[in-house]
Structure 1
Amino acid sequence: MMGVVPGAVHPNGERLAGPLFAAIGIIVLATCTIWAATGAGLDTATLIVVALSAAWLVLLVPVFPRRVRWPWLAVAYFAGLLAGASALTTLDTTFTAFASVAYPIAFVLFPARWSIFAVTATAVIPLLAKEIWGGDSPTPAWVSVVSVVGPMLYVAWFVGAENDKRRRTNAALAEANARLETALEENAGLHAQLLTQAREAGVHDERQRMAREIHDTLAQGLTGIVTQLQAADRASSAESRERHLTQVHTLAKDSLTEARRAVQALRPEPLTDSRLPEALVELAARVTGTSGVAVAAETSGEPVPLLPELEVTLYRVAQEALVNAEKHARASRIAVSLTYTGDLVLLDIRDDGAGFDPAAPACGDGTGFGLQAMRQRVRRVAGTFTLESAPGEGTAVNVQLPAIPADR
């Protein structure tokens, strides 16, 4: 019924505690009354106090379940119980045993901290009452022993219960720390495994992207060159042959440009010589120089070196977004914004191009492939990718990644 800590009652014993302790008190009171009556006898005043004390013990039944909500009621009840016990002890030392009933009642009636004061009052007040109002009769030794042993037993119980509780708490914390260390080691292993998988998936994505790039640019350019050369061989006049050869020259020049751009996209070389903000500025300047599109790149916040996987992801997304804006959106202005916020790093690419409907099926011009590649890249490093666009309103790409430092 009682918990391991004094003052605690198990929820299942909440209904039985009041009647049980009231019954124990009445039994002890009846025993003391019979004992005293068989000895020197009892006068009328003592019997009246016995009857009042018995009735007061019965009141513990309704008081006990209300002790937490109305603590003043518990204090008043215990004061009345202690007054009755003190009066009986003054009238007859036999009732000192009844006064000891207040010890267990104090344990369950008050919280552990306040029960110490209740126990102290139980040990002192009846003894003082007997010394003051008990006449000249000496206090029996067993009365003094009970008054001292009761509090000592309580203190020993309380200290032992607290030590047991602290020991169990420390053991639980040690076990939890051990589980946490094990989980951290497992998470570290999983993180390393995920990074390895991310690298492998990144290689696979790069191969797919380059395959599409080669198909869309170099393969088509070479096909056009072959077609124009065949047409030049079949030309009936020098003027016609010259026109086809001019087309061959133009296609070859365009294919060479595309080949160079594809080679640069194989690995972000700017990141090997500079930090991500500077690399994005160089990328913006290069796109401006090759396409004539006004590209502005800016950085806000305190830049910190990030894990290589994160910086490569941000650079590749910016690269792909700029290619899409330049090649498909026919934008005249593009803004690249890199923001460090402490826990996150944000990348925004906005253009004033033609825009499109993100919900519409891919039109087969390579845009859908690039967007899918960007989403996959961001997803593999636990980031979020957001795309906003509408026909005639430009396109906005937003990426959020955890700002994990490179030295972690």
Structure 2
Amino acid sequence: MTEADVQLEQRWAQANRWGPYVLLGFAVLFACVTAALTPGPAERWAVGGLVLLAFALQLLWGRYGRRREPSAAGVTYYVVRWALAFALTWLNPFFAFYAVTGYFDADEVIPGRLRQWLALVATSIPVAGAQAGGLPIHGATQWAVFAGLLVVNNVLWIVVGNLTHQEEERSRARAGTIAELERTNAALQQALAENAALHAQLLVQAREAGVADERRRLAAEIHDTLAQGLTGIIAQLQVVANTPDPAGAREHMGRAMDLARHSLGEARRSVHNLAPVALESDGLPEALRKTVAEWGERTGVRAGFTVTGTAEQLHEEVAATLLRIVQEALSNASRHAHATRVGVTLSFLGDEVILDIRDDGRGFDPLALPARTPVGGFGLDGMRARAERIVGSLTVESEPGHGTALSARVPLVRDER
């Protein structure tokens, strides 16, 4: 039940409690003003005695008998009050004001729908009698007027009662709907809280998995570049140490220096890729634009970057994942694809982000890759694992001699900071 319904019910309860006193007071006032309608002293004494009885009845009911549900005591109270109101209206028609109180609380004090209707019909009798000129009824004309008024009064309370009943039913239905909506909202809030907690847990797991993935990637980087470079340097220096020919020694020393420079470059690239420093000052689109441009300048390959849709600030884990995928794809393109053109597209599509990387290199057969090759073991598999850790996916389309197309599709999770 809403607060407005509670207030309305409280006001209606106050009206039922004090209404009979107010109506009885009005009836006494008008009876005093129209004392000529009660000519005999006996009738006036009877009016005074009945008024005192009516007042005493209201006091007793207000103190001892008021209940929220129909009862036998309520029926007794209603019948006695109706009898007093009928007798007073017989003596003076203005006491019909007091008789009107029977319309207000029949449903509260009398059990059963039929009994309530009979009580309301009984209430309409003194009211119609007063409207027809007062009781008792004299002559055919007054009887006809009384009968017509009796019908009109009963039709009116039937119509008003039905409308009131329908409004109460609508109020109860509305209260039930509101209560159901409140329960649904509470359940929804709980589900949202659980989803937020699950989302935070998934991000923590993704971060931890990302750390492990970085370790594996760095192991592959060291094995494929630094370890091989150092091995080559050692081999060249051993030749220098064992050769008596100065010209040959200088040649092998030059080769060792070239290998050292190359290994140093690879070490710097690995350190750069260890943490997404490009995201510290820029959003993902700008970081990808710089990454693609720098890669193109370093490798001499024509590279382009495009953004479609409305760019949004992504959660750091999502942005870092997409940046890593691009870095890995560009690394594979320079080391294995021998491409002359590379295109990177970042698309914001409502509730997801799509990253496409295309090159015109020599391509490959994805199904024919060995289990632990650099491309399949630390390239495509690593990129796919990154996407799947944030509930995304990676698809690969390639064919020998026709280039490669990678597409990473991940949820659009906004940065709420």
In structure 1, distance between residues paired with 2:371 and 2:294? 28
| Distance in 1 separating the partners of 2:292 and 2:337 | 16
SS in 1 for 2:396: strand
Q: Secondary structure at the match of 2:314?
A: coil
Aligned-pair Cα RMSD in Å: 2.6
SS at 2:397's partner residue?
Answer: strand
SS of the counterpart of 2:280?
helix
* AA aligned opposite 2:360: D
The structure number with the bigger radius of gyration is 2
2:188 pairs with one of 180, 195, 204 = 180
Candidates 362, 369, 373, aligned match of 1:354:
362
Deviation of 1:240 after TM superposition, in Å, equals: 4.1
Partner of 2:395: 386
Deviation at 1:272, TM superposition (A): 1.6
Matched, 1:284 2:285: no
Alignment of 1:7-406 (within 5 A): 151=159, 154-235=162-243, 237-362=245-370, 364-368=372-376, 369-406=378-415
Shift of 1:393: 0.9
Counterpart secondary structure, 2:368: coil
Counterpart-to-counterpart distance in 2, 1:220 and 1:262 = 15
Q: Which 10-residue stretch deviates more, 335-344 or 278-287?
A: 335-344
Cα distance between partner residues in 1 of 2:371 and 2:248: 35
Alignment partners' CA distance in 2, 1:310 and 1:402: 8
Task: State the TM-score, normalizing by the size of structure 1.
Answer: 0.61
Decide whether aligned partners of structure 1 residues 158 and 208 sit closer, same or farther in structure 2, where only a CA change above 3 A counts. same
Distance 1:170 1:363 in 2: 60
Q: Which runs of 5+ in 1 are unaligned?
A: 1-135
Tell me: CA distance 1:289–1:144, structure 2 relative to 1, closer, same or farther (3 Å): closer
Counterpart of 1:220, as a letter, is Q
Shift of residue 153 of structure 1?
5.2
Opposite residue 321 of structure 2, the aligned amino acid is: T
Aligned amino acid, residue 284 of structure 1: V
Instruction: State, as a whole percentage, how many aligned pairs show the same letter.
Output: 44
Whole-angstrom CA distance in 2 between matches of 1:363 and 1:330: 22
- 1:328 aligns to what SS in structure 2? helix
1:351-400 CA distance string (max 9 Å, x none): 00111112223364411122122112222223332211111110111123
**SS of equivalent residue, structure 2 residue 328:** helix
Unaligned ranges ≥5, structure 2: 1-140
Aligned pairs, number: 273
Residue deviations 1:133-185, cap 9 Å, x none? xxx99669987787566555544443333222222111111111111111112
Which whole-Å CA distance do the structure 2 matches of 1:370 and 1:337 have between them?
19
Q: Name the CA distance, whole Å, in 2 between partners of 1:370 and 1:234.
A: 40
CA separation in 2, counterparts of 1:146 and 1:299?
A: 77
SS in 2 for 1:386: strand
TM-score (normalizing by structure 2): 0.59
CA distance in 2, matches of 1:326, 1:219: 20
How far apart in 2 are the matches of 1:315 and 1:235? 48
Q: How far did residue 197 of structure 1 move? A: 1.4
- Which residue identity does 2:388 align to in structure 1? R
